[in-house]
Amino acid sequence: MLDLVIIGAGPAGLTAALYASRAGASVLVLDSGAPGGKLNLTAEIENYPGVKMKGPELAYSMYEQCLSFGAKQEYGEVTKIENLDDHKVVYVDEKRYETKYVLIATGTKERKMNIPLEEEMTGRGVSYCAVCDGPFFKGKTVTVVGGGNSAIEESIYLSDIVEKVNVVVRRDVLRADQYLVNKLNQRENIEMHYLKKPHSIEVVDQKVTGLVVEDSKTGDISTIPTQGIFPFIGLDPITDFVKELDIIDEYGYIPVDDNQETKVSGIFAAGDVTTKQLRQVVTATNDGAIAGQYIASLLK
C-alpha cells in the first residue's frame, strides 16, 4: 500500500512528489512520457522566478531533485482510478497500484486543427513541438498556426533555424504578450497572415508542400507554400481516464479546493489539468507544493 500515487511527471507532479516524499510519504510517480512534461517542449524558460534556462534542463533538474527524497517513478499510461472506501486503486496496463491518496497532474495535450491529412502527415511535416522537430526544417519554410504566447514563442524559436516562418492567425490581432510581439516584430524572416484559418494540407509525393487557408471574413481559399506545419491553437485537458469519477467540469478540467482536493475525498489534482486562470510552470509548482504538503500532513 503506497501513501501517494501521482499521475503525471510534469512540474506539478514532480513538485508534489518532492514535498510529499521529503515529509516522509511513500510516493510513486507514473507517466507515459519523459519526466518534465511540457518543459521538454519549451526552448527557453524566461518567466520562472530566479531561473533562466532551457526547458529540458529545468525538467531534468526537477526530476533529479524529486527522486532525491525517495520518490519512485515508473512509466505507463493510467487507464482507470478506482475509488474504494479506505483506499484507491490505480490501473496501468496490466498492473494495479493500491494507494491511500491519488494526485492527478496529467496536464494538457495539444489541440488538433481537425483538417484533412493532419493525422496522416503528423510526424511527416506536421509537428506539435518546434523544439523537437524544428532542426529537421533547417533552411526551409515552415508555418506556425496560432496567435497566442505558445505560437509566437515557437515562431521566434523557429526563425533562428529555418529560412522563413509564416504565422497564420485566425483573428486580426495577436493574443500573445506584448513582450513576445515586440520580439516577433524584430524578426525579418517572419511573415504574418491575419484573418486566416487552416482549411486543409497540400501534399505532393507524401511530403507537405502547403497549408491551404480560408479567409475568416470572405471565405476565400488560398495556399501558403510550406514544408512544415506547427499548430499551436490551444490545449485540452487529459482527463478521459477519470470521467467515471464525475470530477471534471464541462470543459474537461478538474475543479479543486484550497488543498487541491477534488470533490472525491482522497483524490487530488494539480497543475494545468485543474480549473484555473493561469497555466504556467510557476502555478503548476505552486499547486504541487500545496497538494504534496497537505497529503503528507494527512498521513501523520
Q: Is 132 a catalytic residue?
A: yes
Per DSSP, the three-state class of 209 is strand
Q: What b-and-e string marks burial along 16-39, b requiring 16 or more CB atoms within 10 Å of the CB? A: bbbbbbbbebbbbbbbeeebbbbb
Q: Is 129 a catalytic residue?
A: yes
Cell numbers given for 30: 507514473
Q: Which of 85, 86, 133, 220 is catalytic?
A: 133
Q: Which of 93, 132, 160, 249 is catalytic?
A: 132
Phi and psi of 7, rounded to 5°? Answer: -105, 105
Strands (E), the chain: 2-7, 27-31, 45-48, 51-53, 72-75, 78-83, 88-92, 95-104, 108-110, 141-145, 164-169, 190-194, 196-204, 207-215, 221-225, 228-231, 235-237, 267-269
Q: How far apart, in whole angstroms, are the C-alpha atoms of residue 285 and residue 157?
A: 25
Q: Which of 129, 177, 215, 236 is catalytic?
A: 129
Q: How far apart, in whole angstroms, are the C-alpha atoms of residue 20 and residue 206?
A: 49
**CB neighbours of 237 closer than 8 A, spacing ≥ 6?**
106, 107, 108, 248, 251, 252, 253, 254, 272, 273
Q: Is 177 a catalytic residue?
A: no
Q: In whole angstroms, how large is the CA radius of gyration of the chain?
A: 21
Write out the catalytic residue numbers. Answer: 129, 132-133
